[in-house]
Amino acid sequence: MASSAVPVSYTPPHICNGNGSRRSSSTTTSNFLRPLSIDDENAARKRRVACACVAPPPHDFTPPKFTGGHKMEHLSAEKDLEDESDVLIECRDIYKSFGEKHILRGVSFKIRHGEAVGIIGPSGTGKSTILKIMAGLLAPDKGEVLIRGRRRHGLISDEEISGLRIGLVFQSAALFDSLTVRENVGFLLYENSTMPEDQIAELVTETLAAVGLKGVEDRLPSELSGGMKKRVALARSIIFDTMKDTIEPEVLLYDEPTAGLDPIASTVVEDLIRSVHMKGEDALGKPGKISSYVVVTHQHSTIRRAVDRLLFLYEGKVVWQGMTHEFSSSTNPIVQQVNFSFCILFMPLTQR
């Protein structure tokens, strides 16, 4: 995955104000003051990207049924006739090359309010790249990204992003190794908000509880398991300044959130991703706040548990999109090449 390939020169969305000022937390002031390494810089760039986590599976979540279904052509036609006011992010005919490698060749899709979308496709087909373009970390060579109907050119700035918060949760979790969990989760607020530190600490504890973590505030990332790190990254992505006048909707972009986790830890993270969505409930049983999320994944369980709609990216284009349960019955020849395993995936257990 290309998370480590984010060029250092890119300005990330939601990243610090750029004035270099930092507020130290009460615990490890020296950590905040030490010079940042390249890894820290990358992590800092990542930190303002909102993350999503999951909690226990939502009560209303029913696994997709193998019903056969619509094709992308039908869905597209129907959607085009629909009200566009619920479109939060739109990618329109996006092209991106790295040197001679033409990775994205005309990618178009929309992410609507309330959606849980998965992006799948062969390795190297540009899934992470399109996620970074949506987040504003990478600029497309050609094409447009529209944020709530407003055209965005090149990389995004904090001003441009107003009206929609976009969070990116990197595969690696991208925590600051020398900061405690509390400092990692509250990082943005310690730096940028006017909230008193004790209030930030309280909010951090609350947010950690929302992703099912208790009593880990003073631990360092090295003292956490891989699954716990991903949950901390999720907490960091969903925490927001409660003193702001307006709360904007937030879209979370997850880059392979379950990569490297064992099946049980994957399930926890998948369910957390669901739970922070507004259609789910977090680990405390409270309604989730994330408007929509997009997950890049190779893992069947993640598609099954955390995704409602799929975009299939192949050779730089979206060759199919539809509801997850429709994928297995697609007549698209490219989809059929990979469909055998997916058919099994979405078939009821009794029919396997």
Ligand X SMILES: Nc1ncnc2c1ncn2[C@@H]1O[C@H](COP(=O)(O)OP(=O)(O)OP(=O)(O)O)[C@@H](O)[C@H]1O
Q: Which stretch binds ligand X (CB under 6 A): 97-105, 206-214, 279-287, 324-332?
A: 97-105
**Which of 1, 146, 278, 334 is close enough to bind ligand X by CB under 6 A?**
1
Whose Cβ is closer to ligand X: residue 25's or residue 125's? 125
The residue among 310, 281, 313, 300 whose CA lies nearest residue 346 is 300
Query: Taking CB under 6 A as the rule, does residue 299 contact ligand X?
Result: no
Query: Taking CB under 6 A as the rule, does residue 128 contact ligand X?
Result: yes
Query: Taking CB under 6 A as the rule, does residue 329 contact ligand X?
Result: no
Query: Taking CB under 6 A as the rule, does residue 45 contact ligand X?
Result: no
Query: Taking CB under 6 A as the rule, does residue 125 contact ligand X?
Result: yes
Per-residue b/e over 162-196, b at no fewer than 16 CB within 10 Å? eebbbbbbbbbbbbbebbbbbbbbbbbbbbbbebe
Whose Cβ is closer to ligand X: residue 178's or residue 301's? 301
The residue among 50, 46, 11 whose CA lies nearest residue 289 is 50
Query: Taking CB under 6 A as the rule, does residue 98 contact ligand X?
Result: yes
Residues sharing a CB contact under 8 Å with residue 101, sequence separation 6 or more, in sequence order: none
Whose Cβ is closer to ligand X: residue 250's or residue 256's? 256
**Which of 63, 68, 124, 263 is close enough to bind ligand X by CB under 6 A?**
124
Q: Which stretch binds ligand X (CB under 6 A): 117-125, 203-211, 220-228, 262-270?
A: 117-125
**Which of 126, 227, 288, 316 is close enough to bind ligand X by CB under 6 A?**
126
Per-residue b/e over 247-271, b at no fewer than 16 CB within 10 Å? eebbbbbbbbbbbebeeebbbbbbb
Whose Cβ is closer to ligand X: residue 125's or residue 302's? 125
Q: Please report which helix (H) or strand (E) contains residue 229, including its range.
A: helix 226-238
Query: Taking CB under 6 A as the rule, does residue 260 contact ligand X?
Result: no
Query: Taking CB under 6 A as the rule, does residue 201 contact ligand X?
Result: no
What's the closest the beta carbon of residue 198 comes to ligand X, in angstroms? Answer: 41
Amino acid at site 102: H
CB distance 158 to 10 below 8 Å: no
What's the closest the beta carbon of residue 236 comes to ligand X, in angstroms? Answer: 22
**Which of 9, 17, 123, 350 is close enough to bind ligand X by CB under 6 A?**
123
Residues sharing a CB contact under 8 Å with residue 271, sequence separation 6 or more, in sequence order: 54, 55, 56, 57, 305, 306
The phi and psi torsions of 60 (rounded to 5 degrees) equal: -90, 10
Whose Cβ is closer to ligand X: residue 5's or residue 284's? 5
Query: Taking CB under 6 A as the rule, does residue 103 contact ligand X?
Result: yes
Q: Which stretch binds ligand X (CB under 6 A): 34-42, 122-130, 184-192, 274-282?
A: 122-130
**Which of 25, 42, 129, 328 is close enough to bind ligand X by CB under 6 A?**
129
Residues sharing a CB contact under 8 Å with residue 52, sequence separation 6 or more, in sequence order: 167, 169, 234, 237, 238, 252, 254, 272, 273, 276, 277, 290, 293
Q: In what order do the strands lie in the sheet with 309-314?
A: 165-169, 250-255, 292-296, 116-120, 309-314, 317-323
Query: Taking CB under 6 A as the rule, does residue 328 contact ligand X?
Result: no
Query: Taking CB under 6 A as the rule, does residue 118 contact ligand X?
Result: no
Structural tokens at position 89: 């992010």
Size of the site for ligand X (CB under 6 A): 14
Which residues of the chain form contacts with ligand X (CB under 6 A)? 1-2, 5, 7, 98, 101, 103, 123-129
